[in-house]
Amino acid sequence: MAYIRTEIIEVNAKYPESTVIERTAKLLHDGELVVFPTETVYGLGADAFQPAALERIFAAKGRPLSDPLIVHIADEHELELLTTTIPTVAKRLAHEFWPGPLTLILPRGPRVPHLVTAGLETVAIRMPRHPVALALISALGSPIAAPSANRFMHISPTTAHHVFTDLSGRVPLILDAGPCEIGVESTVLDLCSDEPRILRPGGISLEALHTVLPDVQPPIQRNKVDEVEEILAKKAPGQLLTHYAPTVPLLLFDGTIEEMHTSMLAEIGRRYAKGEHVGVLVAEEDIPTFQDSGALIYSPGSADDLVRVAANLFAGLRTLEEAHVQVILCRNFGVHGLGLAIRDRLLKAAGGKTCQ
């Protein structure tokens, strides 16, 4: 694609300057793309009702047209523009979790361009809680379709710098409001099947959804790779196991803390002997174990503080990538609360396999 000069503008994360918001909304109105912060990750936005602008999203990311986009709204009334029916359960969930990191899959309204839904009869909708995102959608006066602002197959960006690394020369404007608070993408919840099911675990935990929706189904187990690929390719294109691939291989270790330590140290030893540069992503409390191993260590935080681990996870993977390690060995952080989303991203980066 043709080179576009990329400008980065700082914007106040709590009280976005109206001049910046107006100028950015004008670009969207004119059919351009802009990168804006959300509480989860940075998004690459276009006016959801302009097909020509939507096409640019796919070109800028190098993303296949078969991967549908999330539409971001600032007011529940906008739901009526996007869907045919608003089930009571959707209203309850919206009341409890919006604005916030929950995406609802609802029946597609007739006005929603096919480019948004990848031809599906459903549409993904969320109301983000980042003040910049909300101000931008309101100023545009139209919902904004936005995937994460990374190149296809790369890790989602949680800082403007991450976005610049992936998309400089491909988008005219990046709004920089500092690091994203949550750090993993929204939970995608399917409300169009017989049972409500999480398609992608994310910023709202399964446990939290349970309080409003006792019959919510957890994401499909990712250990049966072929079966999962087949189901997800139909239900949720873009959720394939290799979706969030760092540019270096990642090995995810399971087992007790002691087992993980032992097998990770053995793997580091084998790789070190071959002259490989190894990176490890471990909890703060694991650092002494790996201090003298020769591996480059990144810690996103304590395993007891998953909010912090999630917030730093993607930055950690990018840091290790940029340090040119040849492999990343990663401990697991369990499956409770945000642990499920963290595990999902790591498992995808690991191609769906774990090491014992």
Stretch that binds ligand TXA, among 25-33, 38-46, 216-224, 329-337 (CB under 6 A): 38-46
Q: Report CA 263 to chain centroid distance, whole Å.
A: 29
Half-sphere exposure of 77 (CA within 13 A, CB side): 4
**Contact mark string toward ligand TXA, 297..336, x via CB under 6 A:** ----------------------------------------
| Member of 239, 299, 312, 332 binding ligand TXA (CB under 6 A) | 239
Contacts with ligand TXA by CB under 6 A: the residue count is 27
Near Mg ion in 137-176, by CB under 5 A = 148
Minimum distance of ligand TXA from residue 243's CB (angstroms): 7
Q: Is 122 in the site for ligand TXA (CB under 6 A)?
A: yes
Strand stretches in 50-206, DSSP E = 70-72, 102-107, 122-126, 144-145, 173-176, 187-190, 197-200
Q: Name the 3-class secondary structure at 233.
A: helix
Minimum distance of ligand TXA from residue 289's CB (angstroms): 33
DSSP state letters, 275-322 = T--EEEE--GGGHHHHTTSSPEEE--S-TT-HHHHHHHHHHHHHHHHH
The residues near 240 (Cβ < 8 Å, ≥ 6 apart) are 229, 232, 233, 348
Nearer to ligand TXA by C-beta: 171 or 260? 171
| Member of 46, 53, 105, 282 binding ligand TXA (CB under 6 A) | 105
Stretch that binds ligand TXA, among 182-190, 254-262, 307-315, 335-343 (CB under 6 A): 182-190
Please, are residues 136 and 128 in contact by the beta-carbon 8 Å criterion?
Answer: no
Give residues in contact with ligand TXA (CB under 6 A).
38, 40-41, 43, 67-70, 101, 103, 105, 117, 120, 122-124, 128, 146-148, 185-186, 188, 199, 236, 238-239
